Structure 1
Amino acid sequence: MNWLWTWGGTSFGYREGDNLWTYDRRHVGRFAGNDVYGPDGAYLGELTGTHRLITCQAKLGSRQVGFTPSGRRVIYASYADYSGYALDEGYEDFPAPWTLR
């Protein structure tokens, strides 16, 4: 289990295998390489380095085959937020965990 933060520093949740989970136990994404797609197959963003999530604006609109989210899991305490990084042109912060369903 690898804990993850958004590029802006918000504690997001964790990666387990190819699945992305929020800290409040929701299965909101699936990895295809470093890219993350939501249950509807829409591109959400990507993993950069080992612990940060970011969204490439040029990839918005990309799609993969969707999936049915797994059931909820035990709630974990959120890790502390970190300082955010400056965004390069063409990128935006990964969605916050509470904005994804």
Structure 2
Amino acid sequence: MNFVHRWNGEYFGWFHDDALYTKDGRHVGSRRQNDVFGLDGRYLGEVKNHRLITRIGKVGSSDIRGVPMLRTVGTTVNPMNERPLDLPDGFHEFPPPGSF
């Protein structure tokens, strides 16, 4: 299990293998190399410097659809938020966990 944060420092959830889970245990996507796709195959963002961020130029792209996995129990470990980083040009924030 690898904990992951959004670019603004907010704790998002974790990766288990290549499956992305929100902090409350919902399976919302999968990682293919550094790109993250939703269960509907829609591009959500990517992993950059161990954080989630969305490249504007890739919004609208897609990959194969994923198969939703069973909801898992959220972790009892709730990592603290990290220091926010300035968004680089051509990127915007990865969607928050509550938007899925």
Q: 5 Å matches for 1:32-47?
A: 32-47=32-47
Query: Residue by residue, what CA displacement relative to the aligned partner does 1:31-89 show, whole Å, maximum 9, x if unpaired?
Result: 1100000011000000012x211000000011001112101111224321112100111
Could you tell me how far apart the structure 2 residues matched to 1:37 and 1:21 are?
Answer: 12
Q: Please, what TM-score do these two structures have when normalized by structure 2?
A: 0.94
SS at match of 2:98: helix
The equivalent residue for 1:12 is 12
RMSD after superposition: 1.0
| Unpaired runs of at least 5, structure 2 | none
The equivalent residue for 2:74 is 75
Could you tell me how far apart the structure 1 residues matched to 2:74 and 2:55 are?
Answer: 29
SS at match of 2:4: strand
Of all paired residues, the percent bearing the same amino acid is 40
Could you tell me how far apart the structure 1 residues matched to 2:69 and 2:94 are?
Answer: 21
SS at match of 2:57: helix
Could you tell me how far apart the structure 2 residues matched to 1:64 and 1:21 are?
Answer: 18
The equivalent residue for 1:58 is 57
- The count of residues paired between Structure 1 and Structure 2 equals 99
